[in-house]
């Protein structure tokens, strides 16, 4: 089981669907959602400190946390050192690398600021780029 954390619109639900070869359009996630193999979380939980404890507690049900950073999002959305709050290893994933204006280097710096260690994964849920590397890694980790 993996848990996906990241701001609203970062591509968490799309990534889960893409990993599972599910082509449904991602609907807005309004509560913590257990699907097969992945825990999807509302972006608001990563953006509002009063929800952090809920994320940390829910992470105990997962083996690994994927911290999702949108390659097109230049805002600082993840607080400094955010990764340290989780009781599970946190792996950084940059999404939307296909999108116009995607800036992988900026996204990389955002994940580093959040206290996550490299290597990161760079993916697109739309084109499928990078997904194989990520799914192979997850299979190896037996999450």
Contact residues toward ligand GDP (CB under 6 A) are 6, 8-14, 26, 29, 43, 95-96, 98-99, 124-126
| Alpha-carbon gap, residue 77 to 143, rounded angstroms | 26
Contact partner at residue 103 from ligand GDP, Mg ion, none, CB < 5 to 8 Å by partner kind: none
CA atoms within 13 A on the CB side of 44: 7
Smallest distance from ligand GDP to CB 102, Å: 8
CB atoms within 10 A of CB 109: 13
> Shortest approach of Mg ion to residue 40 CB, angstroms?
6
Least distance (Å) between residue 45 CB and ligand GDP: 11
Distances (CA, A) of 93 to 36, 50, 128: 20, 24, 14
Binds Mg ion by CB under 5 A, chosen from 6, 13, 64, 97:
13
Q: How far apart are CA 81 and CA 38, in angstroms?
A: 23
95 contact, one of ligand GDP, Mg ion, none, CB 5-8 Å limit per kind = ligand GDP
């Amino acid at each position: 089981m993996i848990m996906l954390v990241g701001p609203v619109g970062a591509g968490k639900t799309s990534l889960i669907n893409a990993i599972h070869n599910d082509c449904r359009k991602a609907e807005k996630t309004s509560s913590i959602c257990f699907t097969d193999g992945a825990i999807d979380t509302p972006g608001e939980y990563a953006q509002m400190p009063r929800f952090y404890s809920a994320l940390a507690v829910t992470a105990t049900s997962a083996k690994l946390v994927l911290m999702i950073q949108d390659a097109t999002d230049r805002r600082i959305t993840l607080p400094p050192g955010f990764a340290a709050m989780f009781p599970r290893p946190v792996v950084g994933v940059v999404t939307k690398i296909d999108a116009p204006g995607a800036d992988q280097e900026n996204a990389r710096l955002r994940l580093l600021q959040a206290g996550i260690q490299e290597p990161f994964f760079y993916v697109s849920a739309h084109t499928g780029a990078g997904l194989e590397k990520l799914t192979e890694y997850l299979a190896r980790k037996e999450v």
